[in-house]
Amino acid sequence: PRSTLIMLVSAFGGRELVFKAYQEAVEKLYRFYSFGDAMLIL
């Protein structure tokens, strides 16, 4: 991904888990929005 926020989140959530979730979201055409320096993963 070209997002530094994804890299930051992966430092806390684990690279493999975050990248797997990211890939699934891309495949399902989810939209990504940034609101400052925060990310909510449900």
- Measure the CA–CA gap between 34 and 8, rounded to whole angstroms: 13
Domains of the chain, by residue range, sit at 1-37
More confident site: 34 or 10 = 10
- Measure the CA–CA gap between 27 and 37, rounded to whole angstroms: 24
16 pLDDT band (50/70/90 cuts)?
A: very high
Contact 32, 25 (CB under 8 A): yes
- The pTM score is 0.64
- Measure the CA–CA gap between 10 and 16, rounded to whole angstroms: 8
35 pLDDT band (50/70/90 cuts)?
A: low
More confident site: 1 or 23 = 23
Residue 41 CB neighbours (<10 A): 10
